[in-house]
Structure 1
Amino acid sequence: MNVHSGEVDLAVQVRGTSGPVVVLVHGYPDTHEVWDRVAALLEEDFRVVTYDVRGAGASSAPSTEDGYRLDHLARDLFAVIDAVSPDEPVHVVGHDWGSIQSWEAVTTPGARIATFTSISGPCLDHMGHWSRRRLSFAHIRQFFRSWYIAAFHLPVVAPAFWRLYLARRWGGVLRRLEGVRTTPAKTIASDAVNGISLYRANIRQVMRAPRQRFAPMPVQVVQPVHDRYVRTEPLDLERWVPSLRRRRIAAGHWAPLSHPAQVARMISEFVTDTTPPRELVVVTGGGSGIGRATAIAFAKAGSKVVVSDVDIVAAEETAKLVGGHAYEVDVRSEEAVRTWARQVADEHGVPDVVVNNAGIGHSGSFLSTTTEQWQRVLDVNLWGVVHGCRAFGELMVERGEGGHIVNLSSAAAYLPSKILSAYATSKAAVFMLSDCLRAELAPHAIGVSAICPGVVNTNITATTTFSGVSAEEERRKQDRASRLYARRGFGPEGVAREIVQAVRDNRAVVPVTVEAKAARLASRAAPGLLRAFAKLDLG
């Protein structure tokens, strides 16, 4: 169908016959086809509307550059809304310049828009206000990301470059830079040349005199973490949007093409329920010690918490303290962890943070440590972490919204000791696993942190096993270690605070206590000194 707006006719496409109306607005230099994969996923539950913006695809173009001003573009959107949904408000989704022009519409008083989802396109007025703040590194980074804006203001050169060179190569450019395989519209050359007027008619004018623009409806801002061109995080949108929901997607700028399933899911979830979800945190070994303290710390920060432990009674006690949920899980079993991960996803959703904390202590020389003791330590301390990383990591990658994995290592990972062969080996393996996994999961916007406590007063000392000693001697050693750790006076709450901060700052390695930090420094600056220290008899 065609919708008339001012001097142009807009080509409008409607999919689906029932449900809330969702209007998808494309950017530059695209046509409505950029939304085809997303629209196909939405049309079963929604009435999906797309249209070619003025000057693109099958829509006509204004006669002057002034015809591409934001107020004209907003009136186009209003005209489409009136045509497809004359009585009920609609849900608007914009990408790139489709988002920029939609911001103009949603911040216009009286707009019949129920919700707005913005992807890779800020409000120019908000950007203008932000640009007037004291110069920061974020300003400099955005300036270099937006280099093409200056190029589009060059007379003759930019249109000629599109017509003579770039238009026929655009599909290849998207493949190389974005990993997107798509066939550009047949009108790509004229669309790109016409669309240059979007920049020339608006950027300098709006940025020079930004207006106060408020959005009264719920707004969802989706930031592709690998976007090469624009970042919306610094814009202080909470100032302009009372009901704001921020989300990330592990994609580049053209997320509707590269990640249509994730984009469609985000739109559907927001249209259905605009309530911001609570961060979901999963903690293994959450029945006591560092696990319990971590669960409490995240809960105090407003997160929803799920804990597991082999001791279900202890896990349930923690769950009561944090208002969360408890599960009995033996992390040594891959199948048990996978089953639990699927259960968590089904009952609570895919977690945003996973803390692989479950662990046990063991002391003894290498020659006195039996194969069975080695197996027990590695099964819990290493394989338990591996199982947690794999089971929940796969879910995080599939979801496509990033996340964070925290693995409990130890200062023993880089502090050699002739009485901690098995324990130190397991923790060193976790340390290196975390670094390897951090590199692998970075493209998916999933951070990984290795936490390295030193001497922390927890109940692990009371359960630590010892090689080559009688049961009575083992109890004496356990009591002695517990008294020593108690005199040290550093509790699990200190580790929990560092874990929460590591997630917020996406830190790779976090030595926690003074001795852990000193050992970390020595391991890098003077490893020979630590090796010599390890030979001493201190017991």
Structure 2
Amino acid sequence: MSRDGAGDGTGNESGSGSGTGSGSWAARERRVAGDGVELCVAEYGDTSLPTVVLLHGYPDSKEVWSQVADRLADRFHVVLYDVRGHGRSTAPKPLRGGFRLEKLTDDFLAVADAVSPDRPVHLVGHDWGSVQGWEFATVGRTEGRIATFTSISGPSLDHFGHWIKQRVARPTPRRLAQLLGQGAKSWYVYALHTPVLPELAWRGVLGRQWPKLLARAEKISSAGYPTASLPEDAAHGAWLYRDNVRDRLRAPRADAYAHVPVQLITPTGDPFLSEKLYDELDQWVPDLRRRTIPTKHWVPRTRPDQIAQWIGEFVTSNEEGRPARKTPEKPGPAGERFAGQLVLVTGAGSGIGRATAFAFAEAGARIIAVDRDAESAARTAELARLIGAPSAWAETVDVSDEQAMEKLAEKTATEYGVPDVVVNNAGIGLAGSFLDTTTEDWKRVLDVNLWGVIHGCRLFARQMVDRGQGGHIVNTASAAAFQPSRALPAYSTSKAAVLMLSECLRAELAPHDIGVSAICPGIVNTNITSTTRFAGVTDAEQDRRRARSSRLYGLRNYPPEKVAEAIVRAVLRNSAVVPVTPEARGARLLGRLSPRALRGLARLDPPL
């Protein structure tokens, strides 16, 4: 299977199990007898490999998983099946009582026995597939048949029931707010409990309009999904809720402890489920891995690359008998979000760029360290692997060279995959009055500080858009972008342009779920002072000013690691403009409140 990362694959070479989604795997279908129904089962890949069962939700059929299945099929035996009453599986008769979790468990065991009779399977569930998966992973009769469980956008009804009871029993303002918030998100559950109306809606206008509604809400292509069986699937699936939800929430099981390792993937923008539902999950799951992803509900269609990456890593680690790569010792949003993601950083050989590569490496991201100094880039990649990156590579590129950047983008997509985060950080310093700054000086600083960012944004944003699975771009600007100075006209101009470019790109790329952040540090203790050029002075004076600047920056001693932390937070929060140091925040505020005062400060001579 070829790895064509330029399209929509991850090109992952770190053994995580992610493929490319080239559509080259043909499904082999069979029929399996369930509990009073006949189930349609599709299989991909080599049957001798570990088996991964992907279980769909409501109102979907197994085709919701097709893109993820294709990405996994080069390393696993992948199995999809239509839940009873959905797709090409038959419906129970009568419908009432035919969708109880006990019967769904029988169906799962029948499929597992048919497709993997001698080895436990790795279960992945989305939406109601996840609700079922929690049942399978916590009841005694499935022990030994499941190796791992990955849950996406679907809670255990038992855990949910206990979550509600705890908040009702101790109704603090915070707990009441959580309860009311989830109650509002669960509006559709109430609707599905009404008699007849859901069936009429799905077999009528809602069934016809659903593909358009889904495409508009979640930006999902309708190619091959949903299938023509959607109206009947949705009408039958209403009984999933009617047969199970009220009973389980009213009387949740007290023994709903997971007997397998569980990976929880939580979309942070899910309109149906609150992240707070999983706050107490650790008490039910002894071996739990948490992941978050910035998207809405239908992640098997909107983020197949990342989902396949995480599933593959989790399955492989457990198959090899080693612990899965966990979130850091102190679990936090960065480890949950960036583990396994691909992060490219320019100017990564030192300073803010190196610190940023390390910060993402600590969160478990794969790193591409880009710098024009080959030795420095290689050292950053080596240290990133030691810190926690599952893989890290070094690339030697001058960001001002358009052709070199185009080759980097092509190589990255082909060999490593489309980056999830790109940090355009490379930059150089230039000081001196406008009248002393030569045309060559202007050209050099704009080539690196502005055009280097333009090249990175243009090439990698195009890859992210073509992949259609979101991403984030960070551009390192400066406090000089909004703080004029008589000593930094060229540098300030380049950084102000980066700031405005970032704002424009943020507006343009937002519909593609691609965030853009401009980071604006102030005085940070990096080696940029030792390489800054001072226009219009002798070589001796240039050396004196560099030494003086380095001493002042050293006395200020604001570490680049704090800027790296701000960059990670900016991606997590999708922040637009982030002034980092106190002087940067002060200049930003002063520019808004009193631009005249800021202009007055610009007339002062710098302490050089």
Q: Place the TM-score, normalised by the shorter chain, in its bin.
A: 0.7 to 0.9
* SS of residue matched to 1:50: strand
Check if 1:146 corresponds to 2:186.
yes
Q: Which amino acid aligns with 2:546?
A: Q
1:158, distance to aligned residue in structure 2 (A): 3.1
Letter in 2 for 1:199: Y
For structure 1, which runs of at least 5 residues remain unmatched after alignment?
none
1:308 alignment counterpart: 370
Q: Match of 1:8?
A: 37
Q: Does 1:435 align with 2:507?
A: no
User: For 1:495, which of 560, 563, 581 is the aligned residue?
Assistant: 563
In structure 1, what is the Cα distance between the partners aligned to 2:138 and 2:177?
A: 29
Q: Which residue of 2 aligns with 1:88?
A: 119
1:507 is aligned to 575
Which residue matches 1:355?
Answer: 423
Deviation at 1:374, TM superposition (A): 0.7
Partner residue of 2:350 out of 288, 293, 305? 288
SS of the residue aligned with 2:97? helix
Task: Give secondary structure in 1 for the equivalent of 2:182.
Answer: helix
Contact preservation (8 Å) 2:370, 2:397: yes
Q: How far, CA to CA, are the matches of 1:325 and 1:38 in structure 2?
A: 26
Q: CA 1:510 to 1:129, structure 2 compared with 1: closer, same or farther past 3 Å?
A: farther
> Are 1:213 and 2:220 counterparts?
no
CA RMSD between the two structures: 3.6
Q: Which deviations, in whole Å up to 9, do the C-alpha atoms of 1:233-286 show, x marking residues without a partner?
A: 751444444444555667653444566666566655554455435565443323
1:78-133 deviations in whole A, cap 9, x for unaligned? Answer: 12222333222223332321221122112223151233333332222233344445
Q: Would you say the 8 A contact 1:223–1:247 is kept in 2?
A: yes
Match of 2:540 in 1: 472
- Give the secondary structure class of the aligned counterpart of 1:355: strand
- Tell me if 1:128 matches 2:153: no
Instruction: Compute the displacement of 1:147 (Å).
Output: 1.2
The answer on whether the counterparts of 2:525 and 2:557 sit within 8 Å (CA) in structure 1 is yes
Alignment CA distance shift 1:445-1:111 (3 Å)? farther
**1:299-448 map, 5 Å:** 305-318=367-380, 322=384, 323=386, 326-341=394-409, 343=411, 351-396=419-464, 403-443=471-511, 445-448=513-516
Match status 1:529 vs 2:558: no
Residues 40-93 of structure 1, C-alpha deviation per residue, up to 9 Å, x if partnerless? 666666554433322334412242533322222112111222233322222333
Aligned partner of 1:162 among 202, 212, 226 = 202
How far has the Cα of 1:516 moved from its partner?
A: 1.2
- Summarize deviations over 1:355-377 as a string: whole Å, max 9, x none: 33221111223233221111101
Taking the aligned partners of 2:109 and 2:287, their CA distance within structure 1 comes to: 22
SS in 2 for 1:93: strand
Superposition deviation, residue 170 in structure 1: 3.3
Indicate conservation of the 8 Å contact 1:262/1:399, yes or no.
Answer: no
Q: Name which of structure 1's ranges 359-368 and 283-292 shifts more when overlaid on structure 2.
A: 283-292
CA distance in 1 between partners of 2:76 and 2:566 (Å): 44
Residue 180 of structure 1, CA deviation: 3.8
Q: Displacement, 1:428?
A: 0.9
Q: Residues of 2 paired with 1:297 and 1:48: CA distance? A: 34
For 1:93, give the aligned amino acid: V
Tell me by how many angstroms 1:139 deviates: 4.9
- Displacement after TM superposition at 1:352 (Å): 4.8
Change (3 A) 1:84 1:173: same
Partner Cα distance (1:438, 1:390) in 2: 13
Alignment check: 8 A CA contact 1:247 1:401 kept:
no
Q: Which residue of the partner structure matches residue 253 of structure 1?
A: 297
Q: Amino acid of the residue matched to residue 235 of structure 1? A: Y
Q: CA deviation at 1:148?
A: 0.9
Identity of aligned residues (%): 54
Q: What is the DSSP-based 3-state SS (H/G/I as helix, E as strand, rest coil) of the residue aligned with 2:451?
A: helix
How far apart are the structure 1 equivalents of 2:472 and 2:493? Answer: 24
Contact preservation (8 Å) 2:523, 2:581: yes
Alignment of 1:457 onto 2:525? yes
Amino acid at match of 1:362: L
SS in 2 for 1:65: coil
TM-score normalised over the length of structure 1:
0.85
How many residues align structurally?
A: 539
Say whether 1:200 aligns with 2:231: no
Q: Name stretches of at least 5 consecutive residues in structure 2 with no aligned partner.
A: 1-29, 168-173, 319-323, 326-338, 387-391
Q: Is the partner of 2:175 in helix, strand or coil? A: coil
- Structure-2 separation of matches of 1:328 and 1:48: 39
Which amino acid is 1:359 matched to?
Answer: G
Deviation at 1:301, TM superposition (A): 5.7
In structure 2, the CA distance between the partners of 1:532 and 1:305, relative to structure 1 (3 Å rule), is same
**What is the rounded CA distance, in whole Å, between the counterparts of 1:370 and 1:527 in structure 2?**
29
Displacement, 1:183? 6.7
CA distance in 2, matches of 1:440, 1:530: 31
The one-letter code matched in structure 2 to 1:253 is: H
Deviation at 1:153, TM superposition (A): 1.9
1:137 is displaced (CA, Å) by: 5.7
- The structure 1 residue matched to 2:147, chosen from 105, 114, 119, is 114
The amino acid across from 2:149 in the alignment is F
Quick one: higher RCO (CA 8 Å, sep 6+), 1 or 2? 2
**1:427 Cα deviation (Å)?**
0.7
- Structure 1 counterpart of 2:433, one-letter code: S
1:71: which partner in 2? 102
Q: Distance in 2 between matches of 1:268 and 1:336?
A: 33
Distance of 1:310 and 1:413 partners within structure 2:
24
Cα distance per residue 1:221-242 (max 9 Å; x no partner):
4445654333557514444444
User: Structure 1 residues 370, 271: CA separation in 2 closer, same or farther (over 3 Å shift)?
Assistant: same
Contact 2:39 2:83 in 1 (8 A): yes
* CA deviation string 1:129-187 (max 9, x = no partner): 44445427665543333211111122343333334442344344334434442575555
d(CA) in 1 for partners of 2:351 and 2:598? Answer: 28
Taking a change above 3 Å as real, the CA distance of residues 470 and 36 of structure 1, as seen in their structure-2 partners, is closer
> TM-score of the superposition, structure 2-length normalised?
0.77
1:424 Cα deviation after fit: 0.5
> In structure 2, what is the Cα distance between the partners aligned to 1:394 and 1:242?
42
Contact 2:487/2:606, CA 8 A, preserved across alignment: no
